[in-house]
Amino acid sequence: MVPALAPSAESETLIRIAFATGLVSLGLTVLLALQVTWMRAMKRRRDRRHLRCLDTWRPVLYQAAMGETPEVPELAPKDEASVLVLWNQLQDGLRGRTAREGLNRVAHAVDAHAAARRALRRSGARDRLLALRTLRYLGEPEDFERVRPLLDDRGPTICLAAARALFHIDRTAATPELWRRLRRRADWPLAQVAAVLHDADLGDAEMTTLAAAFAAQVPGLEIAELRRLLPLLSIFGEKAAATVVRRLLSPTQVPEVLSAALKQARGEELLPDVARLCGHPAWPVRTQAATALGRMGGPAQRELLLTMLADRQWWVRYRAAQALFSGRFGDLEELSGLRGQLQDRFARDILTHVLAEAQP
């Protein structure tokens, strides 16, 4: 019978290490389970507090929005964010001076202004966005200088929220601040910039001032910058935008600028400038000129478009034919009859092509 071998010192050390590792892993698992349980309990507690807060404040804010004078309870610091979110949601959804004034009275009663300023100083994006929304609806002039530095925030979301707030606080002072940054902030989505200006509810005189501020920047813009910013003209209104576009339709402009400006051309007062560019040496300019005539031209420009059907560039012929069939230069049957009168083969072909596209 072979006697059992006694465990070596090295084996005992390995067993102890494995045992200790198991105990540590078990301890960490228990700690993790306790942390998850604690976090869930805290979340349930926050949710219950949030619901109690809404149950308390929703009737108060609704009554205030209806023009009543409810009893305003004390606002606990832990409930500030919940109440401000609800308050802003009602401001977003309700219209009318009575509703806004009623909600603002409640905000002043609980010193929401101070709460928003405190949130503005925090580093979290959510806190800052909530603060900017609140300050926008409160519209206190003293907040302009507090909000203005956020126009230079690294994130476009904070920047544009700050711009929206500034236009509600002081739209006259906000205009140059916005334009100074538009050129260098290529990360700002133009659709959101347009939404900021539309939300400001500017009048005709203010739109004219805005267009003038834009026009003042145009001479110093690079071509790429100009092409990026020109679509903003659509929010200025036809008359104000036409003033800017007319400056850009000078024959001395480079073709890239002319093409970009023609895309924004609206209004009959620009027809002479557009018609002149139908004979420009650069075919992209002639193409955009033909497209512009399709938006704003009339029977007086039909002969010009018929001439363009014989252009040496296919895209010019195509856009001219599309313009003719836009409904501004005669009915479909009348224009279809023109094919037999055209001497140029390319003109007849492009009319046939576009007519086939127009027919169902």
Question: What residues have CB less than 8 Å from 79, skipping those under 6 apart?
Answer: 49, 53, 57
Which position has the token pair 């005669």?
330
The CA angle 146-149-150, to the nearest 5 degrees, is 95
pTM: 0.69
CB 134 within 8 A of CB 84: yes
Determine the Cα–Cα distance for residues 131 and 120; give it in Å rounded to an integer: 5
Determine the Cα–Cα distance for residues 96 and 24; give it in Å rounded to an integer: 64
Determine the Cα–Cα distance for residues 28 and 43; give it in Å rounded to an integer: 22
Which of 159, 198, 190 lies closest to 177 in space, CA to CA? 159
pLDDT (tens place) for every residue of the chain, 360 residues total: 445 545 567 788 888 888 888 888 888 889 888 888 888 887 887 778 778 888 888 888 888 888 888 888 888 888 888 889 999 989 888 877 888 888 889 889 988 888 899 989 888 889 999 999 999 999 899 999 999 999 999 889 999 999 999 988 988 888 888 888 887 888 888 888 888 888 777 777 777 777 777 777 777 778 888 888 888 887 777 777 888 888 888 888 889 989 999 998 988 889 999 999 999 999 999 999 999 999 988 888 888 998 999 899 999 999 999 998 888 877 777 777 776 677 788 888 888 888 888 776
Q: Which two tokens stand for residue 334?
A: 């009348």
Q: Which two tokens stand for residue 40?
A: 């869930």
